[in-house]
Amino acid sequence: MVVSAGPGAPTAQTALDNVQRYPREAIAIGRQVLAGRVDADERSTAERAIGLALRELNDLPGALWHLRRAARTGRSPRVRALARMSLGYVLANAGQTTAALRAVGAALPRLTGADAGRARMQRGVVLHYRGRFAEAIRAYGVAVEIAQREADLLLEARARNNRGLLNAHRGNGRGTDDLTRSAAIFSRLGLDLAATDVRWNIGIAAGQRGDIAGALRCFTTADADYRRLNVPRPALLLDRFELLLSVPLVEEAVEVADTAVRELRRRGMASDLAEALLARARAALVAGDLATATGAADAARTRFRRQGRRIWAAFAGHVALRAEYARGTRSPALLAAMVRTADRLDATGWPDPALTTRIEAARLAGALGRTGRAAELLAVAARAHRRGTASRRAQGWYALALSRRMTGDERGAARALRRGLAVLDGHRAALGATELRAHSGAHGRELAAEGLDIAVRAGAPAQVLTWAERWRANALRMRAVQPPADPELAAALAELRMVSTALEDALLAGHPVQALRRSQARLEQRILQLTRAVGGGGGLVAPPGVRALTGALGPAVLLELVAHGDRLRAVLVRDGRASLHDLGSLAEAVRLARAHRFGLRRLVTTGDTASARAGVGYAATALDRQLFDPVRRQLADRPLVLVPIGALHAVPWSALPTVTGRPVTVAPSATAWLRAGDRTAPDGPPVLAAGPRLPAAETEVRQLARVLAAPRVLTGAGATVEAVTGALDGAGLAHIAAHGTFRADNPLFSTLELADGPLTAYELERLPHPPGCVVLSACDSGLSGVRPGDEVMGFTAVLLALGARSLIATVLPVPADLTTTLMLDLHRRMRAGVPPAQALADAQRAFDTGTDGAAHATAAAFVCFGAG
C-alpha cells in the first residue's frame, strides 16, 4: 500500500510521519522527494526519514549512510540538529555509543520545545545502551515532562515506552503503567507498528515479574501483528530468549540465541549482536557447554568494551567467571574476580546476575577455607529473599540456608530451603502448560539437593522421602489445567495431523519432504505458543508422609530411589516404617540399565541370538543385584510400588529377576501414586481402537472385543482422532493398538497413529474425563522425557495428571504378533477383576516361558504406571 502525501507533490514530512506506520512507504516517499527539486532542509528531512525507516527495517548500515547525509545536507541549525539527534540513536543501535553521545550532545543546544524533548529522549536511549540506567531514567523523565508541557503525544508515548521498558528490566513495577499508557497513545495516533512494539515490551515486563503465561500471550499477539505489518524484528529474539531461559527451556534458548547471533551479524546490528553473543554464552552455561559459554562470553565482552558499554562487559565477565567456577577452578584470584564483578553488577542495576555470582563466590570462599568471607557474601545474598521475582527470592532463601548450615544450624537451614521451594511452587502453579511446569523444576534443583543432603547426613529416612518428594514430579502434584476450547489450537492440531500424514506418505514414496518438514515445524511452534500461553491455578498437593503411604500400601512395599551426589539411595516403606539404604554407584546403575535396554531391543529388532541373550542376562542380573540386594529381606515376596529416578524411568522392570512375576507399579512419585489410587474410575463402556498400517492391530482389537463387555470398537477409517478422543472421554477402560512414536525433543508431540493422522499427547490433554485405565500396545508408548526434578513428559504424565488411575504401556519396541497374545491374556484377567499390576505380572509370567528371547523382551516391554 502506498500512502498518499495529499494534494501536490509528496513532502519529506509525510515520509517522516510514516516511518512508524509504514516504513517501506516512508522510504518510497522520501526517495520521491529526493528525486525532485527541493531545498536543502527538505532534502535533509527526506534523508532523515529514509534513514529512520531503514532502522525500523533493521538495515543499520543503510540507515547510518542516509542519516549522515541528512546531517551534512541541512541548512538550518534546527534541521541539522534533528538529523544529528536521529544519527545518535542509530549509532547507539550500531554499538557506537561514544559517537552517539557526541552526536546527541551536539544536537541538544540547538533544539527547543518538543525538539529538545526528543533529543533528551535520544540521549536517554544512548545512556540506556551504555548501561547508565539511572541517568537514562532521568533523561526519559525530562522528555515526558517536556512532551506534556508541549502537548506532544507522540514524544510522550515514545519516552514512556523507553522509561517503562527500562523500569521493567530493573524490576520496578511502575514500568507497566508507562507501557500501557504508551500503547494507548500510539493506538490513538494510528501508529500500529509503534503500538505493537510497546505491546511486545508489555510482554517483557510480564516476564520480568514472573508472569510467563502473560508474557507468552503478549508475544504471540505481537508476533501476529508484526507478520501482518510485514516488519522483521530480529532483535526481539533476545527478549524471547530471556523468557525461554527463565522457565528454563534450555534447548530452545540455545537455538534462539544461535539464530539471533546469525541474523544480527548478517544485518550488521552490532549492539544487538553483542547482546546475542552474551545470550549464547548464558544458554551454553545453563546447558553445561562450558567451552561455548567461555568463548561466547569473551567475544561479547570484547564487543561491549569496544562499544563503551562497560556494565554490559561486566555482565559478560560474570558469565565467563561462572563457567570457570563450573569447570572446577578454585583459586583466590577467581574469588576476588567474582566478588568484584558481583559488586559492580549490583551497583549498576543488575541485581539478579550479581546475586548468582555472589552465592557461587561464597561457595568458592568456603571451599578455600575462608569461612568468614563466605559468611559475609551469603549475608548480603540472603537479603534477596524479601522481594523480587520468585527465582530471586528462592535464591535468597538458598543463600540463607547455606549460611545457616555453615554455623551448624541444620534445622534452620531446612526451614529456609522449604520457604524457598514454597516460593517456586507459587510460581509454577501460575504456569498452565504441562511442558512449562515440567521444565520449571530446574529452579529448585539446588534447594532440594541441599535439603536432601541434610536429611541423608542425619540418617532420617522419613525426611529423605519428604525431600525427594518435595522436588520430584511436582507438575503431577498440581491440579491439571485443561486448555480452553481454543478453535485456533484445534485448527492447528488438525492441520498438523494432515501435514504429518502427508510427510509420512512422502517419506514412504521417496518424494521430497523439505517443504512438509518446514510446515510441520511451523505448526508445532504455533501449537507451543498457544498452549504455553494458558494460565495456571491452584496449589500443590503436599507430599505424603510415611503414615499416609502406609494406609494405602497395605501389604505392598514402596521403594523410592533417590540420587544423592554420585550415590544411588533408596527409601523403603513397609508396614508403617521407613528405612534408608545405599544402593551404590549412581553411574553404574545407569550404565547397567542402558545395557539391559539395549540387549532387550536387540532381541526384538535383530533376532534371538545367544550373544544377545547372554548380554541381557548379565545386565539384568547385575542391575538386579545392585538395586535389590540391599533391600531383599524387606521386599520378601510382596507387591512393589517403584518410584525410580529420572535416568531409570525406562527400565523394563519385569525382566529383572527380583521383579519377575511380582505385581509392580511404577510411579513418577509417591505423591502421584497415592493420588492415582484415590481416584474413582469412570464407568463408561470400554473403548478399543486400532490404527492404520498395522494389520495385527485390527486383529488384536477384534479379538479383544470378544473378551470385553459391550466395547466401542473403532477400526479402519472410523478410528479418527476425533472419534477416538470422543470415545475415550469417560471410558472405564481404553485400549489403543497403533504405531507409536516417541519424541525426545518434545515428548508432548509423541504420537499414536490413527486413521486421519497422529494423536498427540497435546490432544489427550484436552480430554475432560480421561479413562480409568489405559492400555497402549504401541511401541515406546510408555517412554517419558525426563526434565530436572524427575519431571516426566509424555503420555504417562498427561494421563496421570488428568486423572487416569493406571496406564499399561511399553518402554521398548514390540512385535505386533506376540503382543496380541499377551494383551488378550492381560484383558481376560482384568475382566475377571484382577487389578492391572497383578494382571500384567500374571500375564507376563505365563507368556514368558524362557525359551524365546523375543517373547521375553515383549513381556518385559510392558510396564504398569500409576496406581496399579
Q: Which residue has the higher pLDDT, 442 or 464?
A: 464
What b/e sequence results for 89-107 when a residue is b if at least 16 CB atoms lie within 10 Å of its CB, and e otherwise? Answer: bbbbbbbbbebbbbbbebb
The pLDDT of residue 534 is above 90: no
What is the average pLDDT value for the chain, to the nearest integer?
A: 85
Determine the pLDDT at residue 482: 52
Distance CA 101, CA 419 (A): 47
**Residues whose CB falls within 8 Å of the CB of residue 407, separated by 6 or more in sequence, listed in order:** none
Q: Which of 250-264, 516-530, 718-732 has the lowest mean pLDDT?
A: 516-530
Range from 86-100, 465-479, 684-698, 850-864 carrying the lowest mean pLDDT: 465-479
Q: Report pLDDT for 786.
A: 57
CA distance 478 to 366: 37
- Average pLDDT score over residue span 120-143: 89
**Residue 230 phi, psi (nearest 5):** 60, 45
Per-residue pLDDT at 54: 92
The reported pLDDT for the residue numbered 782 is 59
pLDDT at 780: 64
- Alpha-helical segments (H) within 629-713: 632-635, 670-678, 695-705
**pLDDT tens digit sequence for 45-69:** 999 999 999 988 878 889 999 999 9
Residues in the chain: 868
CA distance 553 to 538: 27
Residue 532: predicted pLDDT: 67
Q: Give the DSSP per-residue string, 173-224.
A: THHHHHHHHHHHHHHHTT-HHHHHHHHHHHHHHHHHTT-HHHHHHHHHHHHH
Provide mean pLDDT across the span 726-755.
Answer: 84
The pLDDT value recorded for residue 473 is: 57
Write phi, then psi, for 582 (nearest 5 degrees).
-95, 120
**Lowest-pLDDT range of 224-233, 270-279, 316-325:** 224-233
Position 170 scores a pLDDT of: 73
- Res. 6: pLDDT tops 50: no
For residues 744-770, average pLDDT: 82
* Candidate from 184-188, 467-471, 829-833 with smallest mean pLDDT: 467-471
Q: Which of 120-134, 466-480, 596-610, 766-780 has the lowest mean pLDDT?
A: 466-480
Look at residue 501 in the predicted model and tell me its pLDDT: 78
How far CA 352 is from CA of 311, 387, 388, 687, in Å, comes to: 14, 12, 9, 52
Q: Is the pLDDT of residue 436 over 80?
A: no
Q: Could you report the per-residue pLDDT of 544-580, keeping only the tens digit for each?
A: 778 888 889 999 999 999 999 999 999 999 999 999 9
Rg over alpha carbons for the chain, rounded to the nearest Å, is: 31
- Of 45-54, 265-274, 418-427, 470-479, least confident by mean pLDDT is 470-479
Tell me, what's the pLDDT at 434?
Answer: 55
| Cα torsion through 207, 210, 213, 219, rounded to 10 | 0
pLDDT at 733 over 90: yes
Residue 658's pLDDT band, with cuts at 50, 70 and 90, is: very high
> DSSP states of 90-141 as a string?
HHHHTT-HHHHHHHHHHHGGG--HHHHHHHHHHHHHHHHHTT-HHHHHHHHH
E-only strand ranges, 702-831: 712-714, 733-737, 740-741, 751-754, 757-760, 773-776, 785-787, 791-793, 806-810
108-112, 582-586, 676-680, 697-701 — which is least confidently predicted?
A: 676-680
Residue 1 has pLDDT above 50, yes or no: no
Compute the distance between CA of residue 246 and CA of residue 207 in angstroms, rounded to an integer. Answer: 8
The confidence score (pLDDT) of residue 4 equals: 25
Report the sign of the C-alpha dihedral through residues 464, 465, 470, 475, in that order.
positive
- Rounded Cα distance, 584 and 580, in Å: 13
CA-to-CA dists, residue 357 to 106, 281, 339, 847, 868, angstroms: 40, 15, 8, 58, 46
A 10 A CB-CB count for 356 gives 19
Per-residue pLDDT of 189-200, as tens digits, reads: 988 888 998 998
pLDDT at 539 over 60: no
pLDDT at 522: 82
What is the per-residue pLDDT across 585-612, written as a single tens digit (0 to 9) for each? 999 999 999 999 888 888 877 766 677 7
* Mean pLDDT computed over 148-168: 91
* pLDDT reported for residue 2: 25
Q: Are 440 and 498 in contact (CB under 8 A)?
A: no
How far is it, in rounded angstroms, from Cα 590 to Cα 571? 18
CA distances from 349 to 169, 199, 346, 355 (A): 9, 24, 6, 12
- Annotate 276-306 with b (16+ C-beta within 10 A) or e (fewer): bbbbbbbbbbeeebbebbbbbbbbbbebbee
* Predicted local distance difference test score (pLDDT) of residue 788: 52
How crowded is the C-beta side of 36, counted as CA atoms within 13 Å?
15
Whether the per-residue pLDDT at 639 is higher than 70: the answer is: yes
- Residue 696 CA to residue 256 CA, distance in Å, equals 43
Residue-wise pLDDT tens digits, 328-382: 999 999 999 999 999 988 887 778 888 999 999 999 999 999 999 999 999 999 9
Give the confidence band of 633 by pLDDT, cuts at 50, 70, 90: very high
Q: What percent of the chain has pLDDT over 70?
A: 91
For the chain, what percent of residues have pLDDT higher than 90? Answer: 45
d(CA 88, CA 446): 45
- The answer to whether the CB of 615 falls within 8 A of the CB of 599 is yes
pLDDT of residue 7: 39
The set of residues, in sequence order, having a beta carbon less than 8 Å from that of 400 and lying 6+ positions away, is 378, 382, 385, 416
Edge to edge, what strands does the sheet with 740-741 contain? 740-741, 751-754, 757-760
Cell of 478: 498440581
Q: In b/e form, how buried is each residue of 388-413, taking b as 16+ CB within 10 angstroms?
A: bbbbbbbbbbbbbbbbbbeeeebeeb
Q: Helix H segments across 36-75? A: 40-56, 60-73
List, for residues 510-520, the tens digit of each pLDDT value.
888 888 888 88
Write out the E strands in 308-356.
none
Instruction: Return the pLDDT at 3.
Output: 25
**Residues paired with 751 in a beta bridge:** 741, 760
Q: What is the separation of C-alpha 90 from the centre of its chain, rounded to a whole number of angstroms?
A: 34
* pLDDT of amino acid 706: 92
Rounded Cα distance between 276 and 260, Å, is 6
